[in-house]
Amino acid sequence: MQPLNDIHAVILDLDGTLIDSVPDLDAALNGMLQDMSLPAIDEASIRMFVGRGTPHLVKSTISVYLDGQEAAKSLDEALTLFYKHYRTVNGEHSHMYPNVREGLERMVEKGLKIACVTNKPSVFTEPLLAKNGIYPFFDVIYCADSFPRKKPDPFPMVMACRKFQLLPKQVVAIGDSENDAKAARAAGCSLFMVPYGYNYGIPVENQQPDAVVADLLQAMDLIS
């Protein structure tokens, strides 16, 4: 594709785009299941549940073993236990994907504003970015609890554009999931997608992004 022109900011997803956080989630979810006297779950299953926010992640996990009514009754307890374990392991086992730091550095060199818009709660987002050494790159960080609505609703991306005093067409969103794609398109932003994250087993090409990029460095080659 031809490079995008007149782009002044980038909106980045977190889990599955910048950082592979599933190893942390694996430890926390299995700690939760153990506390609930339920069997362990494998990491491959967890990867299929990530991307729609913490309540969905936890409910999907316990629903492997509990029927709908039991899962609904147990959700509050499960969330409390998950948060207890996740506070302990957040950032301990996760790792950045290749060329994330290099891509962020290139964004700074290009003079782009950088936002992180994630469905992860703020209590976990900022520590995770800090532990991976990339927190200072971000001009704006919007989390699951920043607004009443979260992705796939476009509202957080629209607010990031407003914060930067830019039109959505001057901003490119980079993500890995259907939620990212729907939010970006509804907000009016351009869309790049990475193929290595968490998209519920669906090829990212199905979301018809402006480009599928191998990593953030390649994304920067497509911004003029």
**Residues classed as catalytic:** 13
The answer to whether the beta carbons of residues 209 and 198 sit under 8 Å apart is no
Q: Give the tokens for residue 73.
A: 């009754």
Please name which of 198, 109, 185 lies closest in space to residue 153, comparing C-alpha atoms.
185
Q: Give how far Cα 193 sits from Cα of 46, 184, 211, Å.
A: 21, 11, 7
Calculated CA dihedral for residues 182, 183, 188, 193, nearest 10 degrees: -70
Amino acid identity, residue 221? D
Residue 178: in which H helix or E strand, if any? helix 178-187
The dihedrals phi and psi of 192, each to the nearest 5 degrees, come to: -110, 145
3-state secondary structure of 164: coil
